[in-house]
A = this chain, B = another copy of it.
């Protein structure tokens, strides 16, 4: 009987630059991140993906809590009449809703939506809870599952019928405070994605026609994928008083008069895992940034005799313990039925940032062989410097991964003065900076000609360098065009 999983079966059979879509699908399933579930557009988040998600939740949750946000849990099911209360919002989501129409053996008198987002069910309660300025601000968040019935083709993590996310919902006494709240959260998102996921992002505002259904403005962070498509990595919505008016969320201010609250909502989802796969993965599989890798260091013994085995395995255990005691996440892979080579492939596929290989010569010479996943490089270090070198190496990998992603983004960002330039760049897999007059017509015309549309109006205003890329009238802004996920 052979190994459970054969060598050929575990490796990728296609390169990242050969067939990006197929490569992505193989990395996701073969690394053990996820598997396709026997349900329309759904995946199973396997151990590795869920462990990454746990890291993401833990870091973001602590950032939210530092700003006074507290967690809650609202019902999954939303009565249709609530979902209808804010007209724009309902229009935006109704085509994506999965409807519950039967409970047990009985038909329901009113359809229940599985939450596509929770504004309506939450704000119905906010109207009851908020009475005076003393109750403000309200800053609540929930980590939960979301269902959006996808009719387009689905893709693991990026577009699934069900996904996991957090959604924050705040209410404030003043417009200014709510506006600042929405921006503060976007700042948290940006720092998190750049510093932990090692993915550079642009921050800015969505166009009026791409903003969240029911919002006054949507702030976004956009990351560039290697195929030139932009990925919306997090959004924060300034809701103004749209929902507070629809749901009658009022408060008595200090002077005793009644006002509607000002609101925000914001979220990031498990699509972040998809971004990590696409940006950092390579032909050997996943590459995880050390700061979110569930396992940072794997230790693998190499031996040929029983005597060598005793010596090497004991050293592996020692190294594991030394790393664990210093707060690194480390594991010695002592499985007996797999060769070192098979284990290398397996852990490379799973994206573990650092591998330490220990053979008889290493033990005898008091050295360790270290392999860094990002650069695919092997080198030796003295055993005594293990802890220090591991810390330095993980930091260096984190920095290097961010730098590589930043360079990729810079190389794949073009600058166009005409639609034909823009089109040519988009067809070469680029995102394109261009000047724009501000009209919806021009955005839509560019989209129908090139497939790319405005992904964001950046916060950092740039000097207008040409007329509107489409209509040739004077331009008011420099914006980013790209295809999108």
Contact = CB atoms under 8 A, between A and B. Distances in A.
B37 A75 contact: yes
Interface stretch (A130-138, A205-213, A230-238, A395-403): A130-138
Nearest to A70: B47
A252 interface: yes
B71 A51 contact: yes
Interface stretch (A140-148, A346-354, A366-374): A140-148
Contacts of A74: 37, 44-45
Given A46-B72, A140-B47, A77 B104 contact: no
Q: Which 8 A-B pairs have the closest CB atoms?
A: A103-B149, A45-B73, A42-B75, A99-B102, A47-B70, A4-B132, A4-B134, A104-B149
Contacts of A53: 73
A150 to B, nearest CB: 9
Number of identical protomers: 2
A256 to B, nearest CB: 6
A46 B74 CA distance: 8
B71 A47 contact: yes
Which of A53, A99, A145, A164 has most chain B Cβ within 10 Å?
A99
Nearest to A149: B103
Nearest to A148: B104
Given A45-B72, A75-B37, A102-B98, A145 B147 contact: no
B42 A77 contact: yes
A162 B112 CA distance: 13
A104 B97 contact: yes
Interface in A49-105: 50-51, 53-54, 70-79, 82, 94-105
A288 interface: no
User: How many of chain A's residues touch chain B, expressed as a range?
Assistant: 35 or more
A114 interface: yes
Given A99-B102, A125-B44, A131 B37 contact: no
Nearest to A78: B39
Interface of A: 1, 3-4, 35, 37-40, 42-47, 50-51, 53-54, 70-79, 82, 94-105, 111-112, 114, 121, 124-125, 128-129, 131-132, 134-135, 140, 144-145, 147, 149, 151, 161-162, 164, 252, 256, 337
Contacts of A79: 38-39
A121 B45 contact: no
Given A99-B101, A149-B103, A50 B38 contact: no
Nearest to A45: B73
Nearest to A97: B104
A164 B96 contact: no
A40 B125 CA distance: 15
B103 A102 contact: no
A47 B35 contact: no
Given A40-B103, A77-B162, A102-B111, 15 more contacts: A35-B128, A35-B129, A37-B74, A37-B121, A39-B78, A40-B77, A44-B72, A46-B72, A47-B70, A75-B162, A76-B145, A77-B147, A94-B104, A99-B101, A101-B101
A85 to B, nearest CB: 11
A418 B178 CA distance: 68
Contacts of A38: 79, 82, 121, 124
A339 to B, nearest CB: 14
